[in-house]
Every structure is written in structure tokens, then in C-alpha cells.
Amino acid sequence: MSTIELTGLRADLPIGAMAAFGVLRIATLARRIGRCRLSWTEGLGGYYPVLETKADTGADELIALLIESVRDAPDREALKWTEKLKGETPERFREIENKVLEKATADFRADIEWMSAIANELIADDDKIEPTPFDMSGGQQKFPGDAMRLAALLGRSDRGRKQKGSHEAFREALFGPWLYNDDQHSFGWDPSTVKLGAFTFKAPTKMANAGVRAAVWLAFESMPLFPVFAQKRRQRTRAFTQNGRNAVFCWPIWSPFITLHELECLLASAALVGSDQRAERNFKSRGLVAVYRSEKFKPNKYMVTFRSAELAYSASG
């Protein structure tokens, strides 16, 4: 049994929490390091996650596992069929979904989980599917195409590379500090990277991206934990609630070590914060120490992003 403190991942940042969930998912599915569980502990900068593994595992072993996983990503049937979800038809989505379903087994259902996470073909506008609320792509951005290119970049060998290698990139994401010196956009998941023209020294379109590419990938890997449902002709996504027309992402922070399946239950209940007093009274008994929320907003016609996180619930009152 061993524990690894992932001090680079912040609880109060959407991309930080998503990346932590992504690490737990990858480590759990890999199986070779035994049962994996995750908890959060409080440090000087706030809460950060701690990964517990049944097998003795160090930082280098964890990073090697993450690199091995990202190298397999470009072959995922559920992610390579389209560059851009926006504009795809329900018929095309169902066609791919059926192909993926035919190949699924009890031991291999990851592609089906990805299909459930990226969209739901029952919700369509002008005969086009409505993607997951995590798809905030706009302009020249493509989702999931950009994620697949990021996976290919992170999966390359570190040998002979002048720029930051994969091992270094994952170490930065997991243990910090985040330098934000990668030319990588954050899919709208990191409010600290938003470039608003009124507050920048030059036009945002002329500024390079500034992101933490391995953190973006780990956050992307959490998406199968957020399936998309159809409810009364409206899209509903696990861990999301609505504020008028805007989707609001809610995520839990907890103290006991929990498994991936237990995390799925907590994600479902986190969205009840502020709207279901009976459910909220049970938060503390379920080990929750905090729930954060971040609303999607559109600062201009080209951009969609999460707002800075708000503390929606605290066990300390």
C-alpha cells in the first residue's frame, strides 16, 4: 500500500478537480497497481488530492502509467470518428454508437462510456446533436480533435526532444508548480487562462496559448464520469445543474479514501447543493468537506469558459 500526494492539483479549480478524477480513472482501469482510491487533504494552498494504491507505487511509476495510457488514446473508436462534435447528426452518432456497442464486453466498455459522455443523440437542435457541456470549443478549436492531437503529442518519446517532454509535463501537472508555459488551450476548463481583451496588453487573438498540457489531458480523461442524459427533451449531465440557460458544474471534495465507483455517486449528489436541503444534510455524513461550483459563461461571441469557482458547501459551516 502506498500514497502519492498530487500537490499540483487544486480543488478550487475546475481543471484541477477534473484532472484528479482523471488520474483515479486511469489508475483504476489500468489495474496493474491494484485497487486505487482517492482522498483530499488540506495544505497551505487549499485542498489537494492523495492517490492510494494497493501496490507499492511511486511518482515515476504513476507517470509511466499515465504516459502508457495516453499512447493508447488515438486508437479509441469513440474519439477518432470526428474532429468536431458540433454539427454532427444523431444518425451519424448512432452509427458509431452501434459499432462501439458491438465491440464492447464486460471487461472492455470504455468506448461506450466515452460515447455516453460526449453527447446524447436523443437531444438535437436543427438535426444536430448537442455535445457535452464540457465542449466549449469555438472558432478554430475542435473537440475532440484537439484532444486527440494533444494525446499524440504527450505520447511521443522524450528522447532527443528540445521542448518539455511527456514525463516532465505530467510531473508538472501532478506535483506543480503549474508554469503555464505550454502552447495549449484549456478547453475553457481553467478560468485562470481566460484572455479578455479589456484586461490584456494586446489583442487576445495575437497572444499565444498558455496552459498546462498534461493537466488538460488528465482533465479530459475524467469525462466518462459525466454521462449525458435526455430528460424531457433536455440535456442533463452528471454533476451539472442549471442557472437559467447556463450550465453549472458542481464537484465534491471529500476526506475519506474512495473508489472510482464511489466517486460517481458523489458526483451525482454534488449537483444537488443549494437545491435539495435534505440531500445537503447528508453531505457531511458521506465524507464531503466541500462542494465547489463553476458556471459556464460566454464573455464574447467567440469564447465559452468556466467562471472562477465558488464554494457552494463547506462542512465547517
Burial 86-114 (b: 16+ CB within 10 A, else e): eebebeebeebbeebeeeeeeeeebbbbb
| 186 Cβ neighbours under 8 A, 6+ residues apart | 15, 193, 211, 212, 216
pLDDT of 258 > 70? The answer is yes
Global pTM?
0.93
Coil/strand/helix, residue 297 = strand
Tell me what the mean pLDDT of segment 40-66 comes to: 95
Which pLDDT band holds residue 85 (cuts at 50, 70, 90)?
Answer: very high
pLDDT of 204 > 70? The answer is no
Which pLDDT band holds residue 124 (cuts at 50, 70, 90)?
Answer: confident
Region for residue 227 given its phi and psi (left: phi exceeds 0; alpha: psi -120 to 50; beta: otherwise): beta
Q: For the chain, what is the mean pLDDT?
A: 90
Out of 47-51, 124-128, 299-303, which region has the weakest mean confidence (pLDDT)? 299-303
Measured over the CA atoms of residue 191, residue 193, residue 194 and residue 200, the dihedral's sign is: positive
Cα–Cα distance for residue pair 84/64, rounded to 1 Å:
30
Q: What is the DSSP string of 91-136?
A: HHHHHHHHHHHHH--SS--HHHHHHHHHEEEEEEETTEEEE-TT--
Cβ neighbours, 10 Å, residue 45: 11
Each residue of 131-189: pLDDT tens digit?
999 999 988 899 999 999 999 999 986 655 556 799 999 999 999 999 999 999 999 99
Amino acid found at 154: L
Coil/strand/helix, residue 5 = strand
Each residue of 233-249: pLDDT tens digit?
788 999 999 988 899 99
| H helix and E strand count, the chain | 9, 12
Question: Is 238 exposed, middle or buried, given 0-12, 13-18 or 19+ CB atoms closer than 10 A?
Answer: middle
Each residue of 209-223: pLDDT tens digit?
789 999 999 999 999
pLDDT of 278 > 90? The answer is no
